[in-house]
Amino acid sequence: MSDTPTHVVIFDTTLRDGEQAPGFSMDVPSKLNLARALDALGVDIIEAGFPIASPADSEATRQVAREIRRPVIAALARCRQQDIEEAARALEPAERRRIHTFLATSDLHIERKLHTTREAVLEAIVAGVRRARQFTDDVEFSAEDATRSDRDFLCRVVEAAIENGATTVNLPDTVGYGVPDETREFFAEIRRRVPNADKAVFSTHCHDDLGLAVANSLAALDGGVRQIECTINGIGERAGNASLEELVMAMRVRQDRLPYETTINSELLFDTSQLLSRLTAEPVQSNKAIVGRNAFAHEAGIHQDGMLKDKRTYEIMRPQDVGQTAEQLVLGRHSGRHAVQRRCEQLGIVLTTDELALVYHAVITMGENRKAIADNDLRRMVERTRSGERSDAPGHEAVGHGHGA
């Protein structure tokens, strides 16, 4: 077995699946702005839009295709001539283009949504993939609701899509129904049963309805997948898609179990996440892994004490590796004396032992009524202490309410 990590293609669909979620729509300049950031971040593929959906979607795809030269630019199209032709038109200026064509393959979708038959679906897929290949050699086919599709039928679909020119086959967990073991076995089975499976790259696209999108995507790698579709901040339909930043950092931090590499510049993850949040006016959940405001913040006294002694006690990666500020010891009612002292030192204030006792007491007292204590609050406490405004100096040492702290 080689020691070189296997490359995983990062297909970013923030501008398509992400953007189509409520509250996340972006105008053309915003999409272009984010596309530049995704390029700098190092994604392999940017899915820029679904051109048939609206003239604005088509225009955004065209502008991204014109300006962004390094990554492949993908456009979504149903397996319909008109969709595919519109996608191809929007992608015309691209340096490297991919048509991503899709059709649902589960009986539920075929019968209840499309009101058609498996055979008609298969025919449309063959025709769609063939038409897309007339515009580009890079064609991705997605079997919508693949994880709830009949396996025998799905195998026929995948074989036909590859036979007719699909170079990437994406099997989405459209409704976020899968669990990790099942997802790994699912991909392994399809790849084992489809005779021409080795002619295409397999891709996963997981939704987060059960909060398992990242876990399922990582499990899919074990089943032979080499492309992951994901979004910044995990945005997307309903509960969203697999979060790009979580996937990338899981692979980086747990190389021992996930021997894969990506071309992502992880130091830009936080800025990219913040940019998306500004462009869509949607805040990032503060406890969101990797890019949340609290992802590297420590307030509990014993955690802060551990951090001051050796950061590895409570951090499995360095905040600066994902573009977050290093060492965020938040002062509040759970804080410890060492953290107060360290913050003061960082602000250029050296306290005597007596002053520290007074300032520390002031911090935990103010923390009873406030979420966090800002640097200016701390400066004022020091000034008041030094001017003799406060003279009460209780001697107890806070241990914080942190877990295990």
Torsion on CA atoms 62, 68, 72, 77, rounded to nearest 10: -20
Among 30, 58, 61, 142, binds ligand KIV (CB under 6 A): 142
Give the residue from 221, 217, 229, 291 showing the smallest Cα distance to 43: 229
- Partner from Zn ion, ligand KIV, none binding residue 142, C-beta < 5-8 Å depending on class: ligand KIV
- 168 or 304: CB nearest ligand KIV: 168
How many angstroms from the chain centroid is the CA of residue 140? 21
Q: How far is residue 186 from each of residues 150, 176, 260, 382, measured CA to CA in Å?
A: 11, 14, 20, 61
- Partner from Zn ion, ligand KIV, none binding residue 183, C-beta < 5-8 Å depending on class: none
Beta partners for 99?
75, 139
Provide the pairing of β-strand 260-261 with 6-7.
parallel
Question: Smallest distance, Å, CB 128 to ligand KIV?
Answer: 13
Question: Using CB under 6 A, which residues numbered 282 to 301 contact ligand KIV?
Answer: none
CA angle (270 as vertex; 268, 272 as ends), nearest 5: 65
C-alpha to C-alpha distance for 316 and 331, rounded to whole angstroms? 22
- 133 or 205: CB nearest ligand KIV: 205
Question: Smallest distance, Å, CB 43 to ligand KIV?
Answer: 16
| DSSP of 139-206 | EEEEEETGGGS-HHHHHHHHHHHHHTT-SEEE--BTTS---HHHHHHHHHHHHHH-TTGGGSEEEEEB
C-alpha to C-alpha distance for 241 and 260, rounded to whole angstroms? 20
Is 172 a residue that touches ligand KIV (CB under 6 A)?
Answer: yes
Is 128 a residue that touches ligand KIV (CB under 6 A)?
Answer: no
- 17 or 44: CB nearest ligand KIV: 17
Q: Specify the stretch interacting with ligand KIV by CB under 6 A; choose among 169-177, 214-222, 260-268, 315-323.
A: 169-177
Q: Specify the stretch interacting with ligand KIV by CB under 6 A; choose among 32-40, 91-99, 166-174, 333-341.
A: 166-174
- 142 or 280: CB nearest ligand KIV: 142
The single-letter code of the amino acid at 115 is H
**Cβ–Cβ under 8 Å, residues 74 and 11:** yes
**Cβ–Cβ under 8 Å, residues 93 and 102:** no
Among 14, 30, 174, 231, binds ligand KIV (CB under 6 A): 174
Site size toward Zn ion, by CB under 5 A: 1
Those residues whose C-beta lies under 8 Å from the C-beta of residue 181, and which sit 6 or more positions away, are 219
Is 49 a residue that touches ligand KIV (CB under 6 A)?
Answer: no
Q: Specify the stretch interacting with Zn ion by CB under 5 A; choose among 16-24, 70-78, 186-194, 257-265.
A: 16-24
Is 165 a residue that touches ligand KIV (CB under 6 A)?
Answer: no
Is 17 a residue that touches Zn ion (CB under 5 A)?
Answer: yes
Indicate the SS3 state at residue 137: coil
Question: Smallest distance, Å, CB 15 to Zn ion?
Answer: 13
| DSSP element (H, E) containing 64 | helix 55-67
Structure tokens at 201: 């790259």
C-alpha to C-alpha distance for 398 and 340, rounded to whole angstroms? 11
Question: Smallest distance, Å, CB 22 to Zn ion?
Answer: 14
Is 149 a residue that touches ligand KIV (CB under 6 A)?
Answer: no
Is 109 a residue that touches ligand KIV (CB under 6 A)?
Answer: no
Question: Using CB under 6 A, which residues numbered 8 to 27 contact ligand KIV?
Answer: 17
- Partner from Zn ion, ligand KIV, none binding residue 216, C-beta < 5-8 Å depending on class: none
Question: Smallest distance, Å, CB 213 to ligand KIV?
Answer: 11
Is 144 a residue that touches ligand KIV (CB under 6 A)?
Answer: yes
- Partner from ligand KIV, Zn ion, none binding residue 144, C-beta < 5-8 Å depending on class: ligand KIV
Indicate the SS3 state at residue 76: strand
Question: Smallest distance, Å, CB 143 to Zn ion?
Answer: 12
Site size toward ligand KIV, by CB under 6 A: 9
- 204 or 335: CB nearest ligand KIV: 204
Query: What string marks each residue from 195 to 214 as x (binds ligand KIV by CB under 6 A) or -?
Result: ----------x-x-------
SS (H, E, C) 338-376: HHHHHHHHHCCCCCCHHHHHHHHHHHHHHHCCCCCCCHH
Interface contacts to ligand KIV, rule CB under 6 A: 17, 102, 142, 144, 170, 172, 174, 205, 207
